[in-house]
């Protein structure tokens, strides 16, 4: 069968042969045993309902073995034989160009070069899934190949509920992931209900089909490192040392961002497969596995003011402690391990090998948790020694300080309420970017042609340079940083998987860039373009320890903004919308929403982009201004001047002396 025929087939009528477990692929760790006997039966019944009863006698023992061996039912037998990658849009079967663009994005999320655990349908973060199993993938792709622009596909945490009649201006797909009743959003609830096959952790851009590889966070990390250096002094970045952890998934962006920012960076990673994958991809310059060698290399790099990224093949706790003992001065410090998922592979404790840790987390989760918490206490203690010497440490919104505090580490401020170290959003991204409306705008060239991506880079740069001529002084630095970024995008070789780009831009910039893209598609200069963004943005996400950590009016634990965002995007022209529980900082800790939009060169696409992008950004600025964030008040007043139909409630300030 051809690729198109296989897509249209969906779940095959006859069973394909069983597949051997491919040990060359980076697999998800075994999930802990959490289901009762009756719940295991329910999980098996839930899995078998995708298949004709004539196959149940064959599949039942097979799925039972998967559940017992891996803690989940992935249905490996049904993994497609064709190569998984984002094909040019015209290669997908279907009746809707919008549906084809979604198929392209789904396959990009599962591309072996992009996905962290591709055979388990996990894109990044250790548990950020596109689907729960391969039957869901096959059925979803079949539905998308049949869909017309008069239908909407409804996705329940990876499960395609079905095609429903709608209309051409409605989203083609509506996605929810992990939307639990609040009292059922504890970490073990995810373990249980995911094992039963009724929900999943979509992360941010995994379950919303908008992941573009580690590039997705490079720009934000670059901005963070640049401005972190500016907070230290005005002497530039060269010779400054940035120490962090994590090279899997989105955290793999850190060494590349360090190079772009012009620092010496050391990123520790315990999974050698992830370390060498990033090295082979050119995302990290050097790999060192000996601590003494690492110390010598870093001292030399600092002395010579080199711009170099070094991966330490080992545990980050050892690095913090060794650098303290050897008096290696760290200018900037952070951590980007997946501590939203601390008990199932997101963080590996010091003192255990990678293999020992994987075995313990599955066979003795209580003991593994003790090791993780002891490791966090040691890491925090070492960090405190460095900050006493002058290191600027910030939490990278990965729940490091949250989990360290729960482990009893010394990370709390004197008031016993706040952390002693700021979130990078509190100190940098919030006041300097999000409050002004700057966030991670994305686009994907559906032709798959590198030359199309280069043309879009040039178009975006021209738009920004023209805008900067009349930009207010308050956002001149942001504009300059973004122009510098897009000019260096090609030479930094950021593409992994689809021909995609990320660029921090405000509402005006996003609209003007998107309009220019749509005109280029109309003129035949480039093929259709998919717009999107990271959920880690101005208004898509309510996350009290990250995206909304610089909200100080007491509302940072509310999630109205994220819900309004996805509702508003859906009727203003998005091609697909998504709303998730748990992305970025952990299950039960955040609600986040995203969108995708196809620019096909039509007048209708131009209307949609103007309506939706204006709302998508200014919804968040309005909320931030109501929280009395001065930068957001400035930005929303400017937005109201540009759009007479926008009328936002503004706050009055209160004299502190009166209080």
Please write the tens of the pLDDT for every residue from 461-477.
999 999 999 999 999 99
Q: Which two tokens stand for residue 63?
A: 């799925």
Same domain, 53 and 123: yes
492 and 260 in contact (C-beta within 8 Å)? yes
Q: Look up tokens 């999930």; give the residue.
A: 31
Is 124 assigned a ligand-binding role in the annotation? no
Closest by Cα among 314, 335, 318 to 269: 314
Same domain, 192 and 70: yes
- HSE (CB half, 13 Å, CA atoms) of 388? 8
Cα–Cα dist 336/315, whole Å: 13
Cα–Cα dist 44/94, whole Å: 32
Same domain, 567 and 458: yes
pLDDT tens, residue by residue, 336-366: 998 888 998 889 999 999 999 999 998 999 9
Mean pLDDT of residues grouped by 10 in the chain (659 residues)? 97 96 92 95 98 98 97 98 97 98 98 94 92 98 98 98 97 98 92 97 95 85 91 92 88 87 96 91 94 98 97 98 98 92 91 94 94 98 98 89 95 91 88 94 97 97 96 93 89 89 96 98 98 94 92 95 97 97 89 97 98 98 97 97 97 95
311 and 279 in contact (C-beta within 8 Å)? yes
* Residue 611 falls in which region: left (phi positive, over 0), alpha (psi -120 to 50) or beta: alpha
Q: What is the pTM of this model?
A: 0.90
Same domain, 399 and 271: yes
Cα–Cα dist 289/293, whole Å: 8
Is 126 assigned a ligand-binding role in the annotation? yes
In-domain check, residue 163: no
Question: What pLDDT score was predicted for residue 253?
Answer: 84
In-domain check, residue 11: no
Is 396 assigned a ligand-binding role in the annotation? yes
In-domain check, residue 142: no
Same domain, 413 and 447: no
Cα–Cα dist 488/451, whole Å: 15
Give the torsion sign (CA, 119, 123, 126, 127): negative
Could you list the residue range(s) of the whole structural domain that residue 99 is in? 25-137+175-196
Question: What pLDDT score was predicted for residue 216?
Answer: 79
372 and 338 in contact (C-beta within 8 Å)? no
38 burial type by CB count under 10 A (0-12 exposed, 13-18 middle, 19+ buried): exposed
Last residue of a domain, one of 388, 422, 456: 422
CB atoms within 10 A of CB 29: 21
Last residue of a domain, one of 147, 166, 196: 196
Is 125 assigned a ligand-binding role in the annotation? yes
Q: Which two tokens stand for residue 212?
A: 């573009």
Is 246 assigned a ligand-binding role in the annotation? no
């Amino acid at each position: 069968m051809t690729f198109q025929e296989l897509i249209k087939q969906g779940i095959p009528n006859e069973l394909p042969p069983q597949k051997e477990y491919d040990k060359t692929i980076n697999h998800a760790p075994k999930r802990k045993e959490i289901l009762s006997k009756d719940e295991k039966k329910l999980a098996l019944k839930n899995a078998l309902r995708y298949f004709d009863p004539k196959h149940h006698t064959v599949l039942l023992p097979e799925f039972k073995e998967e559940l017992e061996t891996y803690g989940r039912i992935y249905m490996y037998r049904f993994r497609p034989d064709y190569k998984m990658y984002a094909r040019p849009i015209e290669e997908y079967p279907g009746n809707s160009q919008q549906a084809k663009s979604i198929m392209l994005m789904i396959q990009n999320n599962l591309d072996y070069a992009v996905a962290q655990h591709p055979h388990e349908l996990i894109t990044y973060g250790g548990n950020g899934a596109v689907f729960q199993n391969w039957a869901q993938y096959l059925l979803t792709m079949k539905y998308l190949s049949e869909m017309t622009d008069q239908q909407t596909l409804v996705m329940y945490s990876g499960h395609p509920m079905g095609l429903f009649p709608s209309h051409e201006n409605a989203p083609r797909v509506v996605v929810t992931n992990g939307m639990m009743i609040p009292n059922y959003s504890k970490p073990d609830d995810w373990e249980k209900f995911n094992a039963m096959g009724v929900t999943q952790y979509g992360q941010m851009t995994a379950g919303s089909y908008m992941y573009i590889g580690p590039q997705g966070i490079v720009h934000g990390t670059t901005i963070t490192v640049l401005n972190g250096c500016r907070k230290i002094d005005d002497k530039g970045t060269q010779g400054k040392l940035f120490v962090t952890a994590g090279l899997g998934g989105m955290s793999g962006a850190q060494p590349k961002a360090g190079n772009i920012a012009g620092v010496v960076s050391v990123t520790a990673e315990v999974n050698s497969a992830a370390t060498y994958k990033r090295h082979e991809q050119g995302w990290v310059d050097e790999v060192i596995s000996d601590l003494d060698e690492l110390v010598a290399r870093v001292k030399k790099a600092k002395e010579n003011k080199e711009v170099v990224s070094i991966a330490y093949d080992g545990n980050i706790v050892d690095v913090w402690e060794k650098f303290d003992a050897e008096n290696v001065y760290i200018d900037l410090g952070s951590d980007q391990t997946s501590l939203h998922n601390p008990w199932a592979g997101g963080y590996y404790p010091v003192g255990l090998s990678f293999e020992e840790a994987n075995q313990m987390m599955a066979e003795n989760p209580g003991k593994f948790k003790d090791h993780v918490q002891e490791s966090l206490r040691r890491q925090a203690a070492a960090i405190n020694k460095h900050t006493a010497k002058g290191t600027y440490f910030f939490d990278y919104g990965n729940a490091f300080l949250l989990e360290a505090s729960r482990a009893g580490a010394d990370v709390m401020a004197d008031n016993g309420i706040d952390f002693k170290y700021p979130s990078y959003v509190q100190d940098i991204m919030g006041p300097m970017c999000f409050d002004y409306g700057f966030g991670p705008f994305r686009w994907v060239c559906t032709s798959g042609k590198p030359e199309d991506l280069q043309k879009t880079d040039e178009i975006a740069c021209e738009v920004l340079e023209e805008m900067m001529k009349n930009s207010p002084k308050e956002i001149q630095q942001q504009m300059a940083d973004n122009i510098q970024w897009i000019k260096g995008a090609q030479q930094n070789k950021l593409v992994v998987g689809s021909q995609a780009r990320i660029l921090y831009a405000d509402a005006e910039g996003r609209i003007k860039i998107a309009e220019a893209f749509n005109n280029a598609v109309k003129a035949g200069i480039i093929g259709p373009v998919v717009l999107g963004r990271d959920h880690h943005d101005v208004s898509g996400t309510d996350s009290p320890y990250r995206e909304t950590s610089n909200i100080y009016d007491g509302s940072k634990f509310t999630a109205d903004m994220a819900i309004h965002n996805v509702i508003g995007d859906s009727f203003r022209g998005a091609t697909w919308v998504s709303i998730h529980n748990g992305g970025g900082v952990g299950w039960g800790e955040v609600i986040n929403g995203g969108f995708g939009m196809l620019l096909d060169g039509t007048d209708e696409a131009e209307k949609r982009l103007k309506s939706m992008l204006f709302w998508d950004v200014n919804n968040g600025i309005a909320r931030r201004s109501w929280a009395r964030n001065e930068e957001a008040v400035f930005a929303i007043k400017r937005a109201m001047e540009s759009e007479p139909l926008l009328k936002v409630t503004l706050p009055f300030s209160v004299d502190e002396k009166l209080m």
